Structure 1
Amino acid sequence: MAAIQLVLVYFQVMLLLWSFDDPSLIAEAQAMENPEICPSACGNVSIPYPFGMREGCYCDESLEIHCNSSNIPLLSINGTDLVVTDISVGDSTITVNFPIVFANCDGKERNTVVDLGGSPFVFSSDLNNFIASGCDNLALLIQNQSAVGGCMSICDHERSNNYLLSSCSGINCCQTSIPSYLKVYNVTLEGVNDGKGPGKKQPAKKCRHAYLVDGNWMDNRVYGWSGSIMTSYDIRDMDHVPVVLDWGIELRVYESLVNIGLFSNTSNTYNCQVLNPPPDSTSQMATVQCFCKAGFAGNPYLGHCEEGRDYMEHGGHVRAKMVVIGIGVGFGALFLLIGLWQLYKVFKRRRNERLRERYFKRNGGLLLQEQLSSGEVHVEKVKLFASKELDKATDHYNVNRMLGQGGQGTVYKGMLADGKIIAVKKSKILDEGNLRQFINEVVILSQINHRNVVKLLGCCLETEVPLLVYEFIPNGTLSQLLHSPSDELPFTWEMRLRIATEVAGALSYLHSAASIPIYHRDVKSTNILLDDKYRAKVADFGTSKSVTIDQTHVTTLVQGTFGYLDPEYFQSSQFTDKSDVYSFGVVLVELLTGQKAVSFCRSEDEARSLVTYFLMSIEDNRLSGILDPQVKVQGRKEDIMMVAVLAKNCLSMKGKERPAMKEVTMVLEGIRNSHECQKSAKDFIIPQEIDYDANDFMEVPWHLVSVTADSD
C-alpha cells in the first residue's frame, strides 16, 4: 500500500509540474505583454498587468488606467480622477497625486474628500504620514464623525511664516501615522488658541494646511544628498502631493481566474494572500495580493516568477531531478524519488530551524535575553510558545477569531490544547524602534502581578512577526460598554464606581507598589478591558516606561491619545506619574457623562474636548445637564459630587496640584463604602468647613471644594 501511495504522489507531482507549461496560458500571458495589443506605459509611467489601458488588458475594470491626450495616466475611483506617478507589482502599491487641504489661505480653501470605498484600494498605513503645517494648528483626521488621528503644531513666531517643506518636529509643522485600512477621511483644521471665553479676543485667522503624503517622497524633498534642508518647495504653491495606495485584485475576480487556470493554488513560485476587511467594515471588500516567493522574481499575476540563484541552491535541483527522472525512467526511479523525498524533508526541517532562529533574533530574542540576564529587572521566566501551538489555537489566525485591530497589531482569540482560552496579539512587522517597544511590553508585563492588570502568559518570537499571549478577557472594553450600551446589561452607577476604583487601584500599584515603578502612558477607556464579571483589567503596555525609585519623570517624545494627553507633558515632554492621573481623570469624566473624550457631535461653543466641556459646565453651575441619565437616576447626589470634584482635581493643569493615584484610590474606596459608614466617608472626603445642600449640590462653589486624603 505504501508503494501505491508513493506512485500516486509521484504522478500528482508530475501533473502539477506539467500544468505550469500549459501552452494556452503562456500564449495568453504573452498577449498581455505584447505592446501592440496592450500598451505597457503611459508617458514615463509603466502600466504592468493586472492594470491596463484597454479592454482585455486589465483583469478588472477597477484597475483600468486612462491615458489622456497629454500622456498622463489617470486612475478613476468613485468619479474622482487621480494622476498616477508609479505602479509597483512587487510591493502591491500605486502612487497617485492627492489634494492638499487648505484653510484661510488667500482663497485657496479646499477640503476634498476622496472615498476609496467599494474599490480594491486602501491608504497605505506603512508608507504614508499625516502632516499638518501652519502656526498653532490642530489638525484632526476624521472618519465616521470620530477622530482617528491627528497632531498639533506649536507656533514659533520667528518662523511663523515659514511654509517650506521641512522636518516636522511639532513647531509650525507636525506629523503622525494613520490607522490601518483607512478608506475615506475628512480633515478639520482649528487654531490651538481659537477657544472662546470671558476676556479672550478672537485671534486672527491663520493659513493652515494638512495632507497625507508618501513618507519617502517627503524625506527626499526635505533632505538633499548632502543632508542639508532644501528650500525650493513652498506648500502654498502646491495643489497636491504623492500618496501611496495599497491594492489587490478583488476576491471574486481572483476566484474566477483560478477557475479558468490563470492562477494556481499550489504554485511553487508565488503566493497569493487574501486580505479580509475589518469585521465592522460596511463598504470594503476582500482583496487578494500575490507575491513571488523568496528566490524568485517577476510578475506573479502573469505566472512569470522565475527561479533565482538562492532557490536553485536550496532545493530547485530537487524539482529538476524529479522532472528528469519522471520523463526518463518513470517507475524505475521510484527508489530514487523516495531518497530525494527524504532528503527534501531533511533540508526543509533544517531550513525551518534556521528560519525560526533568524526570526527569533530579528524579533528581539537576544534583546529579551539581555534584559532578563542584565539583573536590572527581576521577572519570572517568560513562557515561550511554539509557533505551531498558537497557529492551531487560533485556527491559522482565522479572521472570525479576530478580537480587535489597532496601530500595534491584531488580537485573535484562541484555545490551547488543554482547553484554556487565550488572546494572541500578532504584532506588525517591527523596525528597530518598535522592536524595543515590543520587548519593553514583555518585560513590563512579566513584572506585574495584580488582579486588575491583564496577565501576560508568554510570547512567541520564532514567527515572522512576534506574538504575545495574554489571558482572555471576554467582555470587551470599557469604551464599548460606555458608548455602545446594551439594554440587556445597563451600566449602573455601582458598576461605574467599582470599575473606577479597580482601575485606580491598578495604576496605584503600578506607580508605588510594583517592584519597579511603572508609568502606563496611555490610560484610556479603550485600554481598560472587562472580564466575565465585568471587573476592570488595565491593558496595552506597549508605550509604558519603568523608572528607578528615585526617578520623578521620564523625558520622551510625546506619545498618547488625543483627549487623554496631559497638557503639561505635551509642553515639557516630561512624563510623570501625575500624567497618568490626568488621563485617569478623563476616564472618570467619561464614566460620569457617558460621552467620548473627543466628539464632533458637540458644537464648537460646547467644546469638542470632553475635559473642556466638563470644566466649563462646572464653572457655569450646569454639571447636572451633562451627566449620564443612569448616573443621575441611580447615584446618590453626594457620591456624584465627590467623584466630580475628584475628577476636577485630577484634571488640574499643573501636575503638582493633582492627587497621587494612591490618594485617588483611597477617595474612591471611601465613596464606595459610604453606604455603610456614611459619616466617616464624608469626613474623609469633604472638608468639614464646607456646608453644602445635598438636594442642590450642582450649585456648590466649586472653587472652594477640594479632595483630601491621608497619604500614609
Structure 2
Amino acid sequence: MAIPSQLLPYLLAAAAAFLILPAIAEQRGLEEQQQQQQAVVARPRCQDMCGNISIPFPFGMGKPRCFLPGFEVICNTSSSGRPRLFLAYNESGPVQVVSALNHRFTARNVTASFVMKNAVELMDISVAHNEARAYRAVSSACSTNSTHFRAKFQYTNLGDEGPFLLSAMRNVLIGVGSNVESMMMTSTGETGNEMKAYMPSCLSNLMGKLKYATDGNGTCSGLGCCQAALPLNVTEFGVSFMPRLNLLWQTNPCFYGMLVEKSWYNFSVHDLYGRELLYPRGVPVVLEFAIRNLGSCPPEGQQKPQGYACISGNSTCVNTTRGDDYVCKCLEHYDGNPYIIGGCLDIDECKLPDSYPCWNGGICSNRLEGYDCPCKSGMNGKTGHCVENFPLPAKVIVGLAACIVVLVVMVMARQLLTLKRFYEQNGGPVLKGVKNIKIYRRKEMKQITNNYNRVIGEGNFGKVYMGTLENKQQVAIKRSIKVDKNMKAEFTGEVIVQSEMRHKNIARLLGCCLELDVPMLVYEYVSRGSLYDALFGLRRVHIIPVDMRLQIAVGSAEGLTYMHSAGESTIRHGDVKSANILLDENFCPKVSDFGTSRLLAGGKSEKTERVVGDMSYIDPIYMDQGIVTQKSDVYSFGVVLIELITRRPATYSNKRNYVTSFVEAYLDKRVRNLIDNDITSEVDIKLLEMVSGVAMECVKLNPEERLDMKQVEHRLLEIIGQGVQNGQGRNYQADLGPAPDDVALLKSWGE
C-alpha cells in the first residue's frame, strides 16, 4: 500500500518522537532520581527539616535511631512565627545560662537580679564543614549613673563529653564601647555568677572623646570597637567585662561584648549610642562538631569498628585536634552527607562554573570524579587553549609580520639612541674607566631585579629594589634623584668617591646603570635593615643589649672616621642618621646613603644655599648659616648616640627640644632618667651615662668645640674597655658631672 506523499512528514515526526521521547523521559528520570538522592540528608523515616532549617544526620529528633548520641535536636513549633531548632537541653550541656546583675563602683558590691537557663538555638547545620551556627546573646553593661551599671551576661556550656567545641578559627571576641574591656570567661565560680577563669580580652578606649571613634570600613581597631582571637578546644565560654568607669554614660551608656562569627559584625559609631541590648535575637557563633568517645580514625585497610560513623561510599575519616574523636568528609569531587549510606554524591562541576571553570575556553563536560573541557567542533587545544584549526590567510600573516618587524626596528633604533643619550648624560664616558665599579646595562638591571618586582625601600630619595647578581649575591639597587646636565659632574664625582671606599663599616657601592633618565646605583645588600628599623621601625628588636649598642656605635664611628680621612680630599657624609646606618645579620653597622656626600676643599668648610638632610639630625650651624663641615657629621652622630641611649626617635622642632632636653638632663645629673627602660643593670646604666658624655661632646653648638670622629671612636672604645672590666667584676668611677664648657653649652641652647 502506497503512503501518500503529504502524510510522509507527519509519519517521520511520529517515528522520531517514538524514539526520542523515551530517552528524554529516561534522562529526566535520572535527573529527578539524582535530585532525590541529593535531597536525602537524614535517615529514613526521620524528620529532616525544622521550618526552613535542614536537619542532617548525625543530628536528628524523635526516635534514638534518628540521631547519634549528643546530636539530638528539638524543633519548637509552639512559639509565634516560624519553627525554631534547639539542641536538646541538658543540665551538664549543652545549655545556656543568662544572668543579670547590678554593680556599684564605689561600694564594689554586686547584686544578682535573675538567672535563667535555656537550650542552645541553632541557625543552620553544615555536615560538609562539620559546623553548626547557633544564636548567642550579646553581653551588655549599661550605666544608670556615673557609679552604677546594670549588666547582662550569657554563659554557654557545651558539655565536656559532648561532640561540640567553640570554633577558634571561625569566631572572634568583640568589644564595643567608649571604655570597655571585654573578656572571654571559661568557667564560673562556685557561688553565683562570680567569674573564675578568663582567657582572651581586648580594650576599646576613646579616652572620653567620642570623636576618636573609627567608623571607616567597619573593622575593630580599639577605638570604639576591639577584637581578640580565641583559644582552641573550648567547651564552656561567656563574655564579661572588667569594671571601668564610663565617662560618656549620659550619651553612650552601654558597653557590649560578644563571641561572634568572624566578619559577621561590622562596627558602626551608631552602636555606641544604643540604650538597649544589641541584636535581641542574638548573633551567630560557629560550633564545631565531631564523633566522640569512639576513638580516632581506624588505619587504612583495617576493619571498621562498631559504631563507625563514616558509612557513605566515597567518604573518608579525618582526625581532629582533640585526638580522641574524628569527623567524616566526602572525597574530592563528591558532596553530600558522609554520615548516611549513599550520602556522598558526585558533583556536577558544570553547574558550578565559578568554582570549576574551563580555563582553556572549552565546553564543560561532567564525568565521575571530575570534569573535562573539550574544545568546540572546528577547534583544537594543542597549545593549552582552544584555537581555530584554520589560521588566517598566510598573506595576511606575512603582511602583519612585516609591519611588526619595521615597527620593532624603529623602536629599537630609537631606544638605542635614547640609551646612548642617557649614558652620556649620566657621566658614562668618565665612569667607564673607574676601578671597582661595574657599569650595568639596562636589560641586566631588569634581570637582576626580576623586572623591579620587589621594593624594599621608598622615600624622597626614590626607591630601593632587591636584586640578585649572577653569583647569587644579593644587592640593593637604588634609583636616585634625576641627574640633569648641571648635576652631571657632581653625580660623577660622588660615584667615584664612593667607589674608592672599602671599609667593613661602609655599605659598598658595586656598580651603576646609566642607561636610564634616572641613574641606578647597585650596593651590597645588608639584611637586617637600618638601625632606625631595629630601634623603632617594623623590624624592631625587642631588647638590644648595651654591649651591642656600643658595638653599633663604635662601628658606625669607624665608618665615618674612615670617610673623613680617606683619599686626598676629605669627605663629609651630610645626612648621618639612624635610618642611614644599616645592620647586617651580625648587627655589624654599615654607613650608607651618600646621596648628599660632598668633597670639601682642603678639608675645611663649604657654604651652600641648599640644605639637604633630615632636619631631626642636622647641624644647627649648617641649617642656619649653610656652612657644612665634617663637624656637621659629628653633630648628627651625637643625635644617633642619643637615640641609642634613650631608644626614643629624634624629632625636629624650632627650639630643638629633642637635643635640648637631653643636654639639660645630663647637666642636671638626671640623664639616667632618659635611658631606655629595658636597661636595668646598674653597670649597663653607667656605661650609657658615659656614652651620654660622648654625645654631649658631639652636639655642642660651636663646631670647633666638638670632638672629631676619630676622637669619638676612641672615646667609645674606652667605654667598651670599661664595660669589659666591669664584666670581670672590677668597678670603675666615672665623673658624670658637667664640665664648665658644658654649662656654657646649655646656656647657648637656652638662648
Q: TM-score range by the shorter chain?
A: 0.3 to 0.5
The structure having more radius of gyration, on CA atoms, is 2
- Whose helix proportion is higher, 1 or 2? 1
Q: Could you tell me the TM-score, scaled by structure 2's length?
A: 0.43
- Whose strand proportion is higher, 1 or 2? 2
Compare relative contact order (CA 8 Å, sep 6+) and give the higher one, 1 or 2.
1
Q: Could you tell me the TM-score, scaled by structure 1's length?
A: 0.45
